[in-house]
Amino acid sequence: MINKIDETRKSFDEDLSKVDSFASLEELRIKYLSRKGLVSQLFESLKDVSKEDKPKVGQSLNQLKIHTQSKFDEMKETFENNENKSESFVDLSLPGRIRPIGSKHILTQTLDEIKNIFKGLGFSVYEGPELESDYNNFEALNFAPDHPARDMQDTFFVTEDFLLRTHTSPVQVRLMTEKKPPLRAIMPGKVFRNEAISAKSYCLFHQVEGLYVDTDVTFAELKGTLVAFAKQFYGQDVQYRFRASFFPFTEPSAEMDVWWQPKGKEGRWLEVLGCGMVDPNVLKNVGIDPEKYVGYAFGMGVERTAMLKYGIGDIRILFDNDKRFLTQF
């Protein structure tokens, strides 16, 4: 019996040395320490031992049980500690995880580029409220209450006298009212039109308007400024043209087109901005002497500018927050 105990102890130690996982440790427990394991079987055989040898055999069995249980517990604790360490272990040799970061919206990128170009041309940046008075939005800009040009802009009226601005021109009115010439500034911001939403139009869009008022300002200077902008924004080889047009707040007025040539499609002229010399009536309305001062103004839609530059065919996608689209820029 003593020999069986010694053999079981030796066998246990050999099997223990081969344990390399929780699974193999569990197999060891079942083999030796379970209710039907080898250690339990030896204890059941104790009843067949003679009275004279029983104390010695019993002592050896107890030592075997203590030895196997303690070694098993030690091995289990070792595995548990190693598992906890592996969860908190940081392998400094591994490449770092790249955290995805956001980027500026394509409209913000386009607006920033436009602003930076005009800043380089000597223009300051002014902004104004999106909720405007009818006077600043229309009347001060030479729109009489019954002027048919008001029909050109479908307006969101908040009250009879206040509305969501239909262009950023009211900021020009505010600037000319608050400051004396010379004035050279651009006015970026959101504008609102009560229009049906389609691939080419939206009820909300962004504009950048510009104003220069001084004693000696010419249409040739206006044209030179806009050509300089177009070459910086669209490229030195951009094709452009100016066409006569009409705006209530400028006279004479013009529209600037650039040639758009999509890949595999027929090219065509696209309007990118409107411009003209500030109407003398507008200068009078803001308290500037039109006999002494003259100025020019221009305005462009940021959405249309971005769509033209990047070949975007539907304005609605600019407002959809589709990550697949936005990550391209």
3-class SS letters over 47-94: HHCCCCCHHHHHHHHHHHHHHHHHHHHHHHHHHHHHHHHHHHCCCCCC
Residue 231's pLDDT is 94
Please give the backbone phi and psi of residue 128, each rounded to the nearest 5 degrees, phi first: -145, 175
Sign of CA dihedral 153, 159, 164, 170: positive
Question: Which CATH code, of 1.10.3720.10, 3.40.50.1000, 3.30.930.10, 1.20.210.10, is assigned to 106-326?
Answer: 3.30.930.10
Separation CA 272–CA 38 (nearest Å): 91
Question: What is residue 139's DSSP assignment?
Answer: G
Q: What is the pLDDT of residue 230?
A: 93
pTM exceeds 0.85 for this model: no
Report the relative pairing of strands 183-192 and 124-125 from DSSP bridges: parallel
Q: Is 274 exposed, middle or buried (0-12, 13-18, 19+ CB in 10 A)?
A: buried
pLDDT at 145: 74
CA–CA distances in Å: residue 307 to residues 188, 311, 316: 17, 5, 11
Ranges in the chain, pLDDT < 50: none
The verdict on whether omega for the bond into residue 252 sits within 30 degrees of 0, i.e. cis, is: yes
CA–CA distance, 305 with 234 (Å, rounded to integer): 9
Q: How far apart are CA 150 and CA 156, in angstroms?
A: 12
- Nearest to residue 191, comparing CAs of 138, 145, 129, 134? 129
Residue 208, strand partner residues? 188, 300
Q: Token pair for residue 254?
A: 């013009």
What is the structure's pLDDT at 132? 93
How does strand 250-260 pair with strand 240-247?
antiparallel
The pLDDT of residue 153 is 60
Residue 87: the pLDDT is 54
Q: Which residues contact 118 (CB under 8 A, 6 or more apart)?
A: 186, 208, 210, 229
Please give the span between the terminal C-alpha atoms of the chain, in angstroms, as a whole number: 82
Q: What are phi and psi of 253, to 5 degrees?
A: -125, 155
The confidence score (pLDDT) of residue 255 equals 95
Give the integer Cα–Cα distance in Å for 236 and 153: 34
